[in-house]
Structure 1
Amino acid sequence: MTKTSASSRRRAAVPAEEEIRFWMRAPAVTVNLAAPVSEALALMREHNVRRLPVVIDTGELRGIITQGDIRGADLLRVAGMDPFEIADALRRIKVYEVMTEDPITVTPETSLREAAMLMIDNKIGGLPVVDEHNMVVGIITESDLFEALVHVLERRDMEEEG
Structure 2
Amino acid sequence: MTNKTKTTVPVEQEIRYWMRTPAITINLAAPLSEALALMREHDIRRLPVVVDTGELRGIITQGDIRGADIMRVAGLDPVDIAQALRNVKVYEVMTEDPIAVTPETSLREAALLMIENKIGGLPVIDENKRVIGIITESDLFEALVQQLETHPRF
Helix, strand or coil at the partner of 1:64:
strand
Q: Does 1:137 align with 2:132?
A: yes
- Pick closer, same or farther for the CA change 1:10–1:144 going to 2, 3 Å: farther
Q: Deviations over 1:15-48 (max 9, x none)?
A: 0000000000000000000000000000000000
Whose helix fraction is larger, Structure 1's or Structure 2's? 1
- How many residues align? The count is 150
- Pick closer, same or farther for the CA change 1:12–1:111 going to 2, 3 Å: same
Correspondence for 1:19 among 14, 19, 27: 14
Deviation at 1:12, TM superposition (A): 1.4
List runs of 5+ in structure 1 lacking aligned partners: 1-8
Helix, strand or coil at the partner of 1:52:
strand
Specify the alignment match of 1:46 in structure 2.
41
Output the CA distance in 1 between the equivalents of 2:110 and 2:82. 36
Q: Does 1:66 align with 2:53?
A: no
Matches within 5 A, 1:99-138: 99-138=94-133
Helix, strand or coil at the partner of 1:25:
coil
Output the CA distance in 2 between the equivalents of 1:108 and 1:11. 14
Output the CA distance in 2 between the equivalents of 1:69 and 1:10. 39
TM-score norm. by structure 1 comes to 0.91
Specify the alignment match of 2:31 in structure 1.
36
- Pick closer, same or farther for the CA change 1:11–1:83 going to 2, 3 Å: farther
* RMSD (CA atoms): 1.2
Output the CA distance in 2 between the equivalents of 1:11 and 1:63. 28
Deviation at 1:119, TM superposition (A): 0.1
Deviation at 1:152, TM superposition (A): 0.2
Helix, strand or coil at the partner of 1:132:
coil
Moved runs in structure 1, 4+ residues, more than 2 A? Answer: none
Q: Percent identity?
A: 75
Q: Deviations over 1:107-134 (max 9, x none)?
A: 0000000000000000000000000000
